[in-house]
A and B are shown apart, each in its own frame.
Chain A
Amino acid sequence: MKSKKLGRPYKDGEVVIKQGDPGDCLYVIQEGKVEVIDESGETEIKLAELGETEFFGEMGLFEKDVRSCTIKAMGDAKIMTIDKRNFYKTIQKDPSLAYRLLEKMSNRLRETNKKLRDR
């Protein structure tokens, strides 16, 4: 049965964002999974898997820098883009929209710290 989920469809292995590319959107996974890959070394390192309702690309909202990782679809996935301008306009009126973003970014920082400690 055809999925009625919103967002843009991606096929297995399709690149959603490419490390080193410019970008300023936030992405929210509506369906399926993606993998977060670090391509800075000679070999690709898989850093994480993200699933439904999780977001990525948040650094692009706050920094004028290139994408820090590559994101690829794992199987068929549907992903929604959140425009930077819309997002800023909305949090200007309703800052609480950023609570979840801050919470997740804090979680990710905590996980990174833990990984560094466990090395």
Chain B
Amino acid sequence: MKDESTGTLELKDGSNIAVIGGGPAGSFFTYFALDFAERYGLDIDIDIIEAKDFNCTGPPGCNRCGGIVSESLIQSLSAEGIVLPSNVISRGIESYTLHLEQGTTVIETPLHEQRIASMFRGSGPLGSEDTEQLSFDNYLLELCKERGAKTISGRVIEAERETDGISIKTKEGLEKKYDLVIGAIGLNARTLKLFENICPSFKPPKTTKTHICEFYLGEERVDEYFGDSMHVFLLNLPNIKFGALIPKGPYVTLVLLGSNINKEIVSAFLNAKPVKECFPEDLDLKSAMPCQCYPSINMDGAKSAYGDRVILIGDSASSKLYKNGIGAAYITAKAAAKTAIFEGISESDLKRHYQPVCHDLDRDNLVGKLIFITTTVIQKSAILKKGLLSMVINEQSKANHKRLMSSILWDTFTGSATYTDILRRTLNPLFSINLIGHTLKTLLTRTNNKKNEKQKVRTTI
């Protein structure tokens, strides 16, 4: 509401907020806005408008994501008092298994403690009959309802700016004016268009296609072949920056990140020897795949993800490149909630207090791009990969050894640390010396082996 005496635009007792999109970004915003408002002594109403039913299996209940809650987010949520229930966690991840063409190694969690969760955004893949498995998105929505938010099932088809608010219309017939509208709509192009109308300077993020699919193996076989380890692949395959197999109850989720992933690229990945070796020999991957999708992911941040009475959060604003999208949703949603409750809802308030948080994420992603360029160089070089593998194996085999490469890979795979922090650690001279040392050792071993082979041939002749 606009305070005529001060000319400021801020929430007052009785103000209402529409949160469009009930995924993690929308729920985190709602949860924290209601929490901050209560602490601040402000009485506000929040409606969450969501078209999906997260209690459904397959596409109708799924927000199409790899389904990992990172170590840093788990710790922050725990400190906030949000402890994920057992039936929302598909599996606690306690190690990462790194697969290269040159070999495999396991990177253990630094504290031997499960602090990463795999989960389903909906109630599981298409046809899942596991009634005990609950949706992560639905769990967060329930937390919001407990705090007093109202959820409305519907698809927003119109958003119009008026002098004293924003009018929202849904396909199902709801027409209501709100003091503040939150766009937590991911990368849904149609709904993003609505926000371009009420927020003229807003430009949605650039995206690329990725691939996610699930394989049904059964709980016992997942235990046997994958355990509580997330399997990551740095293979020399075109377009693929990173591939991961994530165990989740009786399923394993495949996530392929890179640029413009299509059927041929997926097929090349699944036929790669290190990938095939992860699965039971008798498993026909095609028939074990109940659902698959090619969702978009952010390649950069949006421009001006805010305006008077409007804030875009989560993927619609800024995310973390390739990783920890839910963590980025938490960061932007909480920053938006803090700004709306404590600072104001005018464009200038949001520019001053909300935009810097998005900028930090975007800046970090630039560093992330640099890291992934380096990773691509390593991916293409057998010698560098052997050196990397040798360094990790050496670190993991000694209990009190400094785990320079292991911690860098751990944080790159888990998305727990910022890319800037990861880059800073790679600049440690000890890291470079170690990597060069291990690469040279590998090179020398290879040269010696070749010499010995030639010698053997000569002797035989």
Contacts and interface: CB of A to CB of B under 8 A. Distances in A.
A6 B92 contact: yes
Contact of B78 (A4, A28, A94): A28
Interface residues of A, number: 27
A116 B32 CA distance: 35
B220 to A, nearest CB: 13
B83 A8 contact: no
Interface stretch (B108-116, B145-153, B177-185, B438-446): B108-116
Given A80-B74, A86-B72, A96-B36, A7 B114 contact: yes
Interface in A1-58: 3-8, 26, 28-31, 52-53, 55
B111 A81 contact: yes
A107 interface: no
A99 B338 CA distance: 13
Interface string B114-125: 111100000000
B91 interface: yes
A82 B78 contact: yes
A53 to B, nearest CB: 5
A115 interface: no
A6 B74 contact: yes
Contacts of B117: 6
Interface in B58-115: 72, 74-76, 78-87, 89-92, 111-115
Q: Point out which of B79, B117, B338 has the most chain A C-beta atoms below 10 A from its C-beta.
A: B79
A51 to B, nearest CB: 11
A4 B91 contact: yes
Nearest to B82: A53
B75 A80 contact: yes
B386 interface: no
Given A4-B89, A6-B92, A52 B83 contact: yes
Nearest to B114: A6
A81 B113 contact: yes
A7 B83 CA distance: 11
B334 interface: yes
B39 interface: yes
A7 B81 contact: no
A3 B32 CA distance: 28
Contact of A53 (B81, B112, B114): B81
Contact of A97 (B74, B79, B85, B87): B79
A80 B115 contact: yes
A112 interface: no
Contacts of B338: 96
A5 B112 contact: no
Q: Point out which of A29, A96, A99 has the most chain B C-beta atoms below 10 A from its C-beta.
A: A96
A101 B78 CA distance: 11
A87 interface: yes
Contact of A94 (B83, B113, B334): B334
B76 A6 contact: no
Contacts of A90: 72, 75-76, 79
A3 B86 contact: yes
B19 to A, nearest CB: 19
B79 A100 contact: yes
A111 interface: no
A76 interface: no
A3 B75 CA distance: 19
A65 interface: no
Contacts of B83: 5, 28-30, 52-53
A8 B74 CA distance: 14
A28 B114 contact: no
A6 B83 CA distance: 9
A96 B37 CA distance: 13
Contacts of B72: 86, 90
The 10 closest A-B pairs by CB, nearest first: A28-B78, A8-B113, A4-B89, A4-B86, A6-B114, A53-B83, A53-B81, A6-B92, A82-B75, A5-B86
Interface of A: 3-8, 26, 28-31, 52-53, 55, 80-83, 86-87, 90, 94, 96-97, 99-101
18 contacts: A3-B86, A4-B89, A4-B92, A5-B83, A6-B74, A6-B115, A29-B83, A31-B86, A53-B78, A80-B78, A80-B113, A80-B115, A81-B111, A81-B113, A86-B72, A90-B79, A94-B331, A100-B80
Given A5-B89, A30-B83, A80-B75, 19 more contacts: A4-B86, A5-B85, A5-B92, A6-B89, A6-B116, A7-B113, A8-B112, A26-B79, A30-B78, A52-B83, A53-B83, A81-B111, A81-B115, A82-B78, A82-B79, A86-B75, A96-B36, A97-B76, A100-B81
